[in-house]
Amino acid sequence: MSSVHDYSARRIDGGEQRLSDYAGQVLLIVNVASQCGFTPQYAGLEALWRKYRDRGFAVLGFPCNQFGAQEPGSEAEIADFCSTRYDVTFPLFAKIEVNGDKTHPLYQHLKAAVPGVLGTEAIKWNFTQFLVDRQGRVVARHAPTTAPADLEREIEALL
């Protein structure tokens, strides 16, 4: 598979979502967690979503409990936390694994398309961000220390 659009994932509400439904949009795909030092990035991700969604941009959040067990809740608990604590309205998906034998196929693709520092594919922590162009090509990978607002120039260039 050569495009993010070739994959699907289970939404946080349990339904299946084809990523081809996002064809023609710029995407920011992020593995998220509710009990992480980077959790306040939800606010910045939501701000990007609200600022650019009408121009063909979407943030897709993928909860993951692989880093310090910082996403221990159920999908319902995660959805409630994101909604009440950070007013998140961007699409959230069911919990997945981003490393190891059970890595979600989407994340296998993302990591292979744009490896991290020194060519390593492993996700190092929560809130690693992948920027995807309108054709579904992964164009950039950013560390959790990159604030969502710092991605605006790259997002603008793709829009």
Quote the CA–CA distance of 143 and 146 in Å, as a whole number: 6
pLDDT tens, the chain, 159 aa long: 589 999 999 999 999 999 999 999 999 999 999 999 999 999 999 999 999 999 999 999 999 999 999 999 999 999 999 999 999 999 999 999 999 999 999 999 999 998 877 777 889 999 999 999 999 999 999 999 999 999 999 999 999
Of 30, 36, 96, 98, catalytic: 36
pLDDT computed for residue 116 by the predictor: 77
Q: How many CA atoms lie within 13 A of 143 on its CB side?
A: 5
Burial class (CB in 10 A: 0-12, 13-18, 19+), 130: buried
Q: Where are the domains of the chain?
A: 4-144
pLDDT computed for residue 138 by the predictor: 97
Q: The whole model's pTM is what?
A: 0.96
Quote the CA–CA distance of 159 and 51 in Å, as a whole number: 12
What's the distance, Cα to Cα, between the start and end of the chain in Å? 24
Place of tokens 């961007």: 90
Quote the CA–CA distance of 129 and 141 in Å, as a whole number: 6
Q: What 3-state class would DSSP assign to 148?
A: helix
pLDDT computed for residue 115 by the predictor: 83
82 is catalytic: no
Short-list 86, 88, 107, 112, CA closest to 96? 107
Short-list 44, 73, 4, CA closest to 144? 44
CA 23 to chain centre: 16
Say which CATH topology domain 4-144 has.
Glutaredoxin (3.40.30)
Tokens of 151: 């991605």
Quote the CA–CA distance of 131 and 28 in Å, as a whole number: 5
